[in-house]
A and B are shown apart, each in its own frame.
Chain A
Amino acid sequence: MAEPVAEPVTDPASVTVDRALVDRVALLARLRLTDDESTAMTAHLARMLELVDHLAEVDDPAASPYTGPAGATRPLREDEPRPSLPVAEALRNAPGLAGAPEDEGAFRVPAVLE
């Protein structure tokens, strides 16, 4: 099954928030919106971008984008193998396992390939 690919969008200055844009973003986000939801989302996204556009007024292109708080020690733990979650426990909350053999030890999903 070929997965639909969203059209790339390139020019921020030309952004028009319309149904087509909302539908592309919904596809990327793996959300299926109803007609009503798409309409409401189009209006909402337009208003949010209007709000966010005000950041241009205070933006300093010379500033470094935030990457995390400096000034504190945040050591990584030793890279040593440790026991992980047992398979049975990892599967305990898994959907779609009704009827699967108890010792299968795998998640089940609908067809990935046609």
Chain B
Amino acid sequence: MPSVSSPQDLPARPRPGVFSRLGHALRDPVLIEPAIIALGALIVAAAVFSLFLLVLGKSPATFFSLVWMGGFSSWFSIQNALQRAAPLILTGLAFAIPARIGLTLLGAEGALVLGGLTAATIALPLQHWSLPALVILPVMASAAILVGALWMGLAGWLKHARGVNETISSLLLTYIAIAIASFLIEGPFRDPASANKPSTQPLGPDLRIGEMFGSSVHWGLAAGLVLAFVLWFLMARTTFGFAARITGGNLRAAQGQGLAVGRLLLTCCAIAGGCAGLAGFFEVAAIHGQANASLAAGYGFTGILVAFLARQNPLAVVPVAVLFGALDAAGGLVQRRMEMPDATMLVLQGVIFLVLLVSDTCYGRLPFLNYTRSGDRT
């Protein structure tokens, strides 16, 4: 163990250069430990899933090469992956932000569906008054964000004011949200022309959000990237984020500091709901063009997995979401080429989630990391 530097020489230490700081970071357990454990968990999950394939008499090698082909190998498949990653970034953030303040909020799916429905329906009268798309689209997005924020904020309010477990309430609110949405889509808001699949009236072509730079990736990805950075900044570099981290790390300490714990909890929930609602807006405006049952495609739940693998770090959510987008994109290929049911990908996601939960027990126990380095016990 290195000797304790005497307190007196601490301020006099010269400012380290970029490279030595990078080297320092690479040896800092706080930074590399999550990366090592997350990667290890993915490898173990792949191994377990291979066993599952072998039992079914399928070749794991074929499977993983198909995933590579379907998700990463060509510009086409990369676009496919990125397109699916867009909502996952947003729903991943919707889990990660409340998690930083100590809440396990599962409600992103419900907020996404309600946000999408709101965007699709609020656009119709505005379209009718022939307002320009540049006015309507922001209104749609804001309304989707607002509805999502209110919906998840409800779970936060129940937690703060009534002590209701937020995990349970947000999960149940999700099913209520989906039920409300299908009631409205099949009832009052139904487009009579949608005979086979009940939907709201389709948006006009000018309200469809185009693709970025000639690719098939829509602007939701850009929104996700920006939001991931903004929310990282909010949590890491602002007084709000600092107070939220105190609250998440030790509620008693936060109360002792007189922080407005309730307001912080509610705000984090509302931010989460806003992210999910925005994901719903993009699903409607860029993919489906109307609200229907396809909105509840499970992005809200996969987002939980994304946030877990990213250790609730808003920046890490982005690459993880791309990885899961690629898995999703490869699903169809696996289904066709290997003659496997489309639930295969759900099995893989489930295995990853389970291994991840187990891998949480490895923190602080990696034999090759020097944990004592970042602080000496005196």
Chains A and B are bound partners: no
| Chain A contacts to B: CB under 8 angstroms | none
| Chain B contacts to A: CB under 8 angstroms | none
